[in-house]
Structures are given as C-alpha cells and as structure tokens.
Chain A
Amino acid sequence: MAADANATGVDERRSSARQTQSDDVDAAESADDRLLEVENLRTVFHTERETIRAVDGVSFGIEEGETLGLVGESGSGKSVTARSIMGLVDDPGELLPGSSVRFDGRELTDLTEKGYESVRGSGIAMVFQDPLSTLNPVYTVGNQIEEALSLHRGLSGIDATEKAIELLEDVGIPDAARRVSEYPHEFSGGMRQRAVIAMALACDPDVLVCDEPTTALDVTIQAQILELLSDLQAEHGLSILFITHDMGVIAEVADRVAVMYAGEIVEQAPVVELYENPRHPYTRGLLRSIPSTQQGAERLETIAGEVPTPNKAATDCRFAPRCPEAFDACEEVHPVPVPVEEGAEDHTAACLLYPEDEPRKAAVDRHAAAGDEDSPESAGSTGGDSR
C-alpha cells in the first residue's frame, strides 16, 4: 500500500484500501470535493496492562459547508477522533501508521507540532464540551480572543480589541464592548460557550470541530447555541464536524450522520435516511431506546450489556455479543462498511447483514475478504497488544 502511495497519489491509495467495494463507491467518494478526509484512523492508548484501541479504523469525509454528525455513546471513541484530527493526542496515546487525516488535500498526520499549529490556527478550529476549562480563568475573555487574533491574524493593540468585540457581537453576546474586559467566571455557561466559539472563529477556520458543545448546557441555552452555530455556518460557509451523544441534537444539526460504536463507524448515512431507515442493529437499538417528548409511557427497548473497550484488533463484530440479530458468522468475521444495498452508496453499514440484496453467504464472504486484505497492516500495527 505504501508503494502505491508514492507512485499514484491520494486517489489510488484510497481505492486500493477499498478495492473490495464497488467501483461506484470510489467514484462517489472522490476526494476532490471533500474538505476534510479521514481515512483508516487508528488511535491507540498504551496503558500498563494493555493497548486500548480507542479509534480503530475510522474513515469519513466532510464536504464544504456540510455538517457531519458523529454520534455514539461514551467510550465509543468519538472525542478521541476529534482530538486525533486536531493533533491533540498525547502520550500515552498515538496514531498508528496508516492513519490519514487530510485537510484541503494536505496530509496532517505527519505534521510536526509547529505545522499543526498553523493548521489549527487557520484551517480547523475546535470547540470543546466544557467552556470553563477551555478558557483560562486568570485572563479576560478579550485577552484570550486577542491572543488568538495576534497568533493567527497578526492583529494587535486596538485593532485586536476591536476585532474581538466584533467577534463577540457576532456570536450574540450583548454589551460586547464591556464584556470583552470581563473574566470567564463573570460569564454564564451559555455566554462562555459563545465566547469559546468566538475564539474558534478568531482564526477564520474552514472546519469547526465541535466536541459535545452543548452537553454541559441547559436546553434553552442549547437551543441558542445550535441556532448560533447554524447562523455562523451559513454566514462563513463553515464545515462542521459535530460530535454528540444526543440523537435529538444530531437530528437537528447534521446533514449526514456517522454512528460510532467501540472505536468504529458502524453506520453512515444522510440524516433523514438514517433516522427513517436505520440499518445497523446498533443504530436501531439506539434510536428505539430514546424516550421522546412526543409519546407517552410505554416500555423502552434496550440494548442488553455494555459498550466494550476494544483492546485487540477486531476479528469479529464488536457489537455481536449485544446484537439481537447476530448469527454464527458474526463471531468470526469482522464487518467492514459496505453500502446497505445496490445503489445506496451514501448509506453504508459495517454489518454482515449488508448488502441486504446479496445472499447472506456472499455478503459474509465480501466482508471476510475485505478484512483479510486489511489484516497484514493491522497485524503489523498492533504490536502493542502483546505487552
């Protein structure tokens, strides 16, 4: 695969990894129109006892102006995915070789810390879950935005202050001229998150990675922030990677949705398609277990068991032990994302039940073959397991 890469470049490399899938998929996923492209991302954390494969072979792309929702339960690896994209994975974590994150055609995984600084500054910005820990309590909010401005846009002095006020106004903070000289503790939770978003916008990013930006907020404040994000997206043409565990928020903000489970993306589809026609048994279970404000009391369906912590390269389906539809092959074959049926190229599921229109045996073989092709590489990259 490495040999392919230097000769034929990006597209070839991708298709060689996906040869088992139909050629149509490759065409549909041509990298040109994708601003951010994540390919076979594997992030592991080494602990004394084992190696946790927090993100294990995740691939997705975000187009310009699009919002991709990344949804999953705690421990599914969605936040680690965000940090991996931002180059914020520190010891004892590392990206395994073969992982690729491309922004605007530029490979980010082999950048130095300094190179990443410039990307973080002007290309991709991140909004974290807890605004209070993102903001430094000993500097005023204005100071912190001005710092970002001077780092990434070379503004200083009065210019920076004026721009900071303008940014705070943009994110809907009233009385911004006064607020700019206040400290984070003088802001309410929603205001803080607005200020964090203003900081992220200070470097005029193309992609905004939002890691559970509204989880710590009340629902009326959450509504304000979601509204703000959608306004900003329309105004600046932002691409947004929106990470959350809340299926309701995802339904509202996302254009496409990727569902994560145990470090892998198990299903990916346009938002309406995913909610109306969920295919992966996990997605189905997840959607059925949500109580809704629209319906009264009836017994909720549940998914038995717990999210596992992946510590070995997968040789089976990680959801199989909890899956109501599992059959024998699920414990032997590791499923790869495939279109759920002929022609549904934008709806993929990593499940042996798909493609639905193929005979089971053929489908299983297809998954198995894809897994085998991957295995030399994954075996080489899992040396940590033996520790």
Chain B
Amino acid sequence: MSQQPERGDTGLAGLDCAPGETLLSVRDLRTYYESGDLIGGQPVKAVDGVSFDVKKGETIGVVGESGCGKTTLGRTLVRLEAATGGEVRVGSDDVTELSGEDLKAWRRNAQVVFQDPESSLNDRMTIGEIIREPLDVHDWGTPAERRARVRDLLEKVGLQEEHYYRYPHQFSGGQRQRIGIARALALEPEFVVLDEPVSALDVSVQAQILNLLMDLQDELGLTYLFIAHDLSVVRHICDRVAVMYLGNVMELGPTDELFEDPANPYTRALLSAVPEPDPTAEIDRMTLRGTPPSPRDPPEGCAFSTRCPVKIRPDGSDEVDESTWEAVEVFRETLRARSRTERSLSERARELIGLETRFATVDEVVGELFTDRDIPVSVKEPVDQAADLAREGDEDAALEHLKGELGSVCDHESPEDHAVGTEGRESRCHRHAAEYEEPSAVGPSVGGED
C-alpha cells in the first residue's frame, strides 16, 4: 500500500487551499502545563489566548524572549502538546481535536525542525535511516522508492548521496540541521514549524541554512511558522511577525511595517534592545527594567504592565514626576518579587518568635526609593499603607492596595487587539484606544522612523 503525499491527496480538505488563502486559523489557543505539585499549584500558562491566521505559502514569524510561550505554541500546532482550550482550524477540522486517520494526515502534513541539531538526531542511526523513518511510519512507496527519496532529499538540502550511511557524529552542526530539515520534508508536508532552527549555529552557517530554507520554500510551496528569539533573522526570512510576551501575542503584522514602525510598547522595547552590527548606529534604547513575570502567575491586566515604560497612569496623577512614578513601579516590582519568594521553614520560625528576617527590611526599600523625593500625598499615603502591610508580612495585600490606589487601566483590564497601521496589523495595548496617547507618541523613537 502506498499513500503518496500528492497534491490534492492530503487527507485533510482544508490543506488544499490556494496560496495566499488561510491555511490555519488559530483562535484563542491556550496551552497550560499542570504544575508538578500533587495538590493545588497554579498551572503554567505557557500560551494564554493566542489568535492568528497562517496563510498558505507564507512565513509567519513568532518572536519573543525565553519563556514567552513561542515554542509551546509551535508544539501545540503540531500536536506535540495538548491544547487546554481554543481551536486551530484547518478548513472545517479542528487540529486540537483530530484523532485516528485525520490525526495521521495532519502529522504527515505538519512537521517540525528542532532547535538543537545535537539532540534532534538519534546518533545510533545512519542518516539514511533517520530521514527514512517518517516514510516508513506512513508506508510511503516501496522500500526501494523510499531509499531513492532519501537520496533525493539529501541532495535537495545540500548534502551528498554518500552521506546515506554515515552517522550524525560525523557531521557538523550546520550539516546536522540540514539532515533535520530533510527529515521534516520527507513526507512533503504543507506546513513546517521551524523551532529556532538557526539559533544554535554560527552566523556564517546560519546564513547558509536560512538561504536553504528560503530556497526550499520557493521550490516546494511550503508554509513556515518560524519561531525565533533573534529579531534580525526574523526580519530576514518572515513575511509576517507575531511578537509574543508571556503567552500573549502583543503585536502582529507584516514584517517590514512592524520593524519600521512598531506599534506596541513591547515590540518597541524589544527592537531597541537588539544590538546592530554597526558601531556608528545611534539607538535610543528603551532599556526595560526587571524580568518578565512568572507565567504561573501573570498580571491581572496587561501582560506587559509590570515592565511597560509607557504604562498609562491613573487619572489625576499628572503632577507626579517621572522618577517618582518609576520609584512606585520599582516598589511594586520588589513587593511582587517578595511575595513570590517561598519562605523557608527557618524563616517562618524566625517570624513566629519575632526575630528579624530578610523580609523585615521593607523600610530600607521604601527609604531608598522615596526619601529625598517630593512625593505628593496621593502617592505617599498608598505607599505608606502598603509598606505597613508588607512589614506585617502580607505582600499580597500590599500589592492589592497599591493596585487599587495607584493602578490604571493597564493593571485592571486585559487590553484588546487594536487594529493599527495598514490592514491586518494588530497590537494589544490600551494606548491604541482613542482616549489615550499612542505608544509611539510617548516613548522614544525606535526602528526605521529616524
């Protein structure tokens, strides 16, 4: 029996659309990992409500920092992880719910190229066996045809036929990544998830692999989901880009526009942080403070609200100067860090018998942040009350108090996706709403604007 992956015989009707039409439609996708604890524990919200379309024949990039959920998103699309909610539509089918023959058809048409070429090839198998395995699994052709196909693939990815009987150990990182690509292409998939395919490679080799990927796309009409943390690589290869932060897509749009005129504050910060290989480039850098919050316990409002440099201030705080406001944010960040810290047994005991613990130094923090400052009463009172609460060891209450008194819409409401720029661009930020100033009007200029 030979099931040939011919066009028009993909097994899933939705895959046979014309180039430019929507191939995959991701709607409110959520993937949570259960916490390791047996009792209670918050799940890790790796992907938390992501929606976008993938058009046939395009390369859509997913960028973000480590832990933003981009890899989990890719793995969910190819069913390596089970979705917690939402759907991934291919025509009339929902990928997250496929089973049996339909799932097999999806697996044949959605492949992955992994990040680490050292780990993605079984080094006790020859290259030929590795690339042949998907063909064997799907009963593709006769054994002789499979071997011929493997040789053909080897040539296609820039290796030689005689590499068939070599082992992965005998290849360099770049060559191994080529083998990984050949394996992913063996079944002639429609859709390939490229999970950081070049981040483990040196620049000169990285360029070879990027060129290869682009050539293969032209030749085979592939659709790529390109996951990366390296923005320059994404700019180079992607048609559209989704910027992820803490399980959310913050901004989505055509690559050139997004890079030249980033709308979302996070995109702007991310772009400005990339060092350019040009020592004369003057970048007005927006250095973000702190680190992303834990995906176990994301902020209630906007995911980026804890680090956002252009966060909306609450009404009536206009007279507060910038540095004081930043001190308030740092204070909140510190309290958050404290409330996340687990108290050891000995610390709890010290607390009980009234000895000094490392948590009792909140006055120092307050002193450091707020002395020598002319703080208006509207800020001073909530800060003092929060400090009191924190002194008693209840950081969570202190945080709630600060949020209630000094929080703005960014702290309370999750922002909508606002259409920005030309058609098909979206950005998830409260500042796009009519009543606020645009992020670009507030922060320093970034990207190609200058």
Contact = CB atoms under 8 A, between A and B. Distances in A.
Whether A and B touch (Cβ < 8 Å) is answered with yes
Interface in B211-247: 211, 214, 229, 231-233, 235-237
A289 interface: yes
Given A220-B65, A275-B279, A291 B291 contact: no
A137 to B, nearest CB: 15
A293 B259 contact: yes
A284 B276 CA distance: 16
Interface stretch (B17-25, B72-80, B121-129, B359-367): B359-367
Interface string A286-311: 11011111111101111100110000
B100 to A, nearest CB: 40
A177 B276 CA distance: 36
Contacts of A178: 338, 341, 358-359, 361
B251 to A, nearest CB: 15
Contacts of B205: 73, 306
A175 B235 contact: no
Interface stretch (A12-20, A48-56, A184-192, A332-340): A184-192
A295 B447 CA distance: 11
B330 A174 contact: yes
B435 interface: no
Interface stretch (B1-9, B281-289, B397-405): B281-289
A285 B208 CA distance: 12
A337 B359 CA distance: 58
A369 B337 CA distance: 63
Contacts of B51: none
A219 B202 contact: no
Contact of B341 (A182, A271, A295): A182
Nearest to B63: A219
A251 interface: yes
Contact of A175 (B256, B289, B365): B365
Contact of A247 (B210, B277, B281, B341): B277
B287 A291 contact: no
A174 B287 CA distance: 16
Interface in A348-382: none
A292 B361 contact: no
A356 to B, nearest CB: 22
Interface in B231-279: 231-233, 235-237, 255-256, 259, 269-279
Contacts of B206: 289
Interface stretch (A30-38, A100-108, A128-136, A221-229): A221-229
A290 B203 contact: yes
A271 B270 CA distance: 24
B160 interface: no
A252 interface: yes
Interface in B315-360: 330, 333-334, 337-338, 341, 358-359
B280 A272 contact: yes
Given A224-B287, A247-B203, A302-B208, A293 B235 contact: yes
B65 A218 contact: yes
Most buried by A among B259, B277, B330, B358: B277
Given A74-B202, A221-B291, A302-B211, 14 more contacts: A174-B330, A175-B361, A182-B358, A218-B229, A224-B287, A226-B275, A227-B287, A251-B278, A252-B279, A275-B277, A289-B204, A291-B210, A292-B232, A300-B207
5 contacts: A219-B229, A219-B274, A220-B270, A293-B259, A300-B207
8 nearest A-B residue pairs (beta carbon): A291-B236, A248-B275, A218-B65, A289-B207, A73-B202, A300-B207, A223-B273, A247-B277
Interface of B: 65-66, 172, 174, 202-208, 210-211, 214, 229, 231-233, 235-237, 255-256, 259, 269-281, 285, 287-291, 330, 333-334, 337-338, 341, 358-359, 361, 364-365, 448
